[in-house]
Amino acid sequence: ICNGEAEHPTSKGMAISTIPPQFNGLLSPENFDLYQYEGFWYHNFYLEGVKLAQKQFKAQPTDIILCSAPKSGTTWLKALAFAILTRTRYDFSSNPLLVTMPHDCVPMLEVDIVQNPGNRSPEFPLLSTHIPFSSLPTSIVASGSRIVYICRDPKDAFVSFWHFIVKVRPEIGFLPLEVVFEMFCRGVSYYGPYWDHVLGYWKASLEQPEKVLFLKYEDMKREASVCVKRLAEFMGHPFSSSEESKGVMEQVLQLCSFENLSNLEVNKKGRHRADTPVAIENNTYFRRGKVGDWKNHLTDQMIRRMNHITEQKLGSCGLTF
Ligand code: A3P
């Protein structure tokens, strides 16, 4: 029923490039150190880890794997899942999230875990990945691990991605929004095509709703408590009625809110993966945290084009934003 197997619409020539001709030279995956593997684009630093994960990773049935395409709300989801899981171990004034950035609280499969399997502890079932569903290590699906996926309106994911790539790849030089937009629409972005990434997990969530929880950033913003309640239940750590009456869920939400996390010293000043080629300031992960920032960046033509791709790729599957 879904049209996910169809070719990426923009690769068939329907797209009208909006970039000024002088920037055409920038339009190349190599400029961004991107390589295609199993239908998706990877930065070379992560690609090695993806292949290693496919070869080595042995999932446990108790694992809870937080999955997303970059810039969809991964940091928020990691914080929430971590806070839910650890709420009885720490009180809210001593939770590690206050001094450790969310990405350092939940190890990433294709980097932290494959490079150092010792990073896994059986008592701590949370891990994260950006790997698309179709390329996940086979043991994840076979073991019955639970998967939580977060996605976001592609227009906001794109705007967030543009800000991110401008910040993390200064050596590329001036990177106009139009160039990154063109590449994103053609499917060339970290772990892109974005739409195919979303579609893979969306289909999996329809087929196995008890194993794959599909969340939208926009729903989480609008109905945070409903979503967090559902997340805690799915993770097997539901809020008890006594916790509900004590306002524990609200404390989780408060701890993980954009306002709180983005103002913590560690997230304002710290550096993530400091000793690697992909080192990055922690504050890069906290920009605006709003729904609809695309309205401040995209032209009408860009909006139409992106909506068209979204409709073509996801509309018939019942996924809208
Ligand atoms: P913007 O760039 O639109 O502000 P990811 O974590 O997948 O890299 O996604 C980053 C996006 O999530 C950024 O969006 C960032 O500001 C937003 N974000 C980070 N922490 C958040 C939080 N606690 N609540 C809501 N949004 C958050």
Domains assigned to the chain: 9-317 (3.40.50.300)
Q: Is residue 145 within 6 Å of ligand 1 at its C-beta?
A: no
Residues annotated catalytic, as ranges: 130
Which pLDDT value is given to residue 4? Answer: 32
The pLDDT averaged over each successive group of 10 residues in the chain (321 residues) is: 34 48 69 90 94 95 97 98 97 96 96 84 91 98 97 98 89 84 94 98 97 98 98 98 97 98 96 86 96 98 97 93 92
- Give residue 289 CA to ligand 1 midpoint distance, Å: 5
Q: Is the CB of 293 under 6 A from ligand 1?
A: yes
Pocket test for ligand 1, best of 46, 67, 68, 71 (most atoms within 8 A of CB): 71
Q: Which atom of ligand 1 is nearest to the CA of 221?
A: 25
Separation of CA 173 and ligand 1 centre (Å): 24
pLDDT of residue 32: 75
Gap from CA of 213 to ligand 1 centroid (Å): 19
- The two tokens of residue 52 are 């290693």
pLDDT at 19: 64
Residue with tokens 């701890």: 255
Q: How far is CA 44 from the centre of its chain?
A: 18
- Residues 6 or more apart whose CB falls under 8 angstroms from that of 78 comprise 66, 102, 103, 105, 106, 126, 128
Q: Take atom 23 of ligand 1 and give the residue whose Cα is closest.
A: 258
What's the burial of 100, exposed, middle or buried (CB within 10 Å: 0-12/13-18/19+)? middle
How far is the centre of ligand 1, averaged over its atoms, from the C-alpha of 44 (Å)? 24
